[in-house]
């Protein structure tokens, strides 16, 4: 049954810190299918510098590093970033980790990346206005012609509608707030980009239902 929540939609920072701290391999060690597909796309445009938003514990980060990308991994959960740094040091790998909340301006100069990847970050506790700002920031830090590949859970997901409604397409369940992408949201986030690919796919045991979007900066 759906309840209607009150109060602010939630600072999820502490929740993610403790969740990632308590579950060292929350999403496993293998790369996501989304990352594997994105790496192929990025290679086609000879991308080298890659910004990853919402890197979690780095299952995709290390895949990109292994494929030769120059990776900058960001997340607002320092516990996740510390796990990435430890694993990188153990393996003698080089990458940058930057602690950052995507509700704030990205801490990088204009045009500083060839590509941006983000798996299941856009469907976090971000209002539509915050998502529009984030898309605009991604556009700013990409070079002209640069690619962004992001994924988000959709209203086709089995969890959509379950838990406490937090407004603006967001539901809270088990302490996690998810913004389920419905019709039209992908287009709203494409200002200044050309959408070059989009498809729906499933991941995990639920399974989560997601949309994958790849856009080129105009």
Q: Are 102 and 73 in contact (CB under 8 A)?
A: no
Residue nearest to ligand SAM (CB): 56
Site for ligand SAM in 139-178 (CB under 6 A): none
Strands across the sheet containing 163-167: 2-4, 163-167, 170-173, 176-179
Least Cβ distance, residue 101 to ligand SAM (angstroms): 4
Write out the DSSP string of the chain: -EEE--S-----HHHHHHHHHH-TTTT-SSPPHHHHHHHHHHHHTT--EEEEES-TT-HHHHHHHHTT-EEEEEES-HHHHHHHHHHHHHHT---EEEE--TTS--SS-TT-EEEEEEES-TTSS--HHHHHHHHHHHHHHEEEEEEEEEEEEBTTSTTTT-EEEEETTEEEETTEEEE-B-TTHHHHT-TTEEEEEEEEEEETTTTEEEEEEEEEE-
Q: Which of 124, 215 has the CB closer to ligand SAM?
A: 124
In the complex, the smallest distance separating the C-beta of residue 19 from ligand SAM, rounded to whole angstroms, is: 8
- Using CB under 6 A, count the residues that bind ligand SAM: 19
Least distance between ligand SAM and beta carbon 114 (Å): 19
| The one among 51, 83, 115, 120 contacting ligand SAM by CB under 6 A | 120
Choices 40-48, 95-103, 167-175, 180-188 (CB under 6 A): range interacting with ligand SAM: 95-103
Binding positions for ligand SAM, 18-77, rule CB under 6 A: 27, 32, 54-56, 59, 75-77
Question: Closer to ligand SAM at the Cβ: 16 or 171?
Answer: 16
Does 83 bind ligand SAM (CB under 6 A)? Our answer is: no
Least distance (Å) between residue 68 CB and ligand SAM: 20
Among 119, 179, 209, 217, binds ligand SAM (CB under 6 A): 119
By CB under 6 A, name the binding residues for ligand SAM: 12, 16, 27, 32, 54-56, 59, 75-77, 80, 101-103, 119-121, 124
């Amino acid at each position: 049954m759906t309840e209607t929540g009150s109060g602010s939609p939630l600072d999820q920072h502490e929740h993610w810190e403790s969740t990632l701290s308590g579950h060292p391999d929350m999403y496993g060690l293998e790369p996501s299918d989304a990352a594997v597909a994105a790496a192929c796309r990025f290679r086609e445009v000879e991308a080298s510098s890659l910004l990853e938003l919402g890197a979690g514990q780095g299952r995709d980060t290390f895949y990109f590093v292994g494929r030769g990308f120059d990776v900058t991994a960001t997340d607002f959960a320092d516990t996740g970033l510390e796990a990435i740094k430890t694993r990188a040091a153990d393996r003698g790998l080089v990458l940058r980790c930057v602690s950052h909340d995507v509700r704030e301006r990205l801490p990088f100069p204009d045009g500083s990346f060839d590509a941006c990847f983000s798996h299941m970050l856009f469907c976090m506790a971000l209002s539509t206005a915050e998502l529009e700002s984030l898309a605009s920031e991604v556009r700013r830090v990409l070079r002209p012609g640069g690619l962004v590949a992001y994924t988000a859970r959709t209203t086709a997901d089995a969890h959509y509608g379950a838990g406490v409604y937090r407004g603006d397409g967001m539901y809270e369940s088990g302490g996690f707030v998810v913004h389920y992408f419905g019709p039209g949201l992908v287009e709203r986030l494409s200002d200044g980009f050309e959408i070059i690919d989009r498809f729906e796919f499933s991941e995990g045991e639920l399974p989560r239902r997601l949309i994958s979007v790849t856009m080129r900066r105009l």
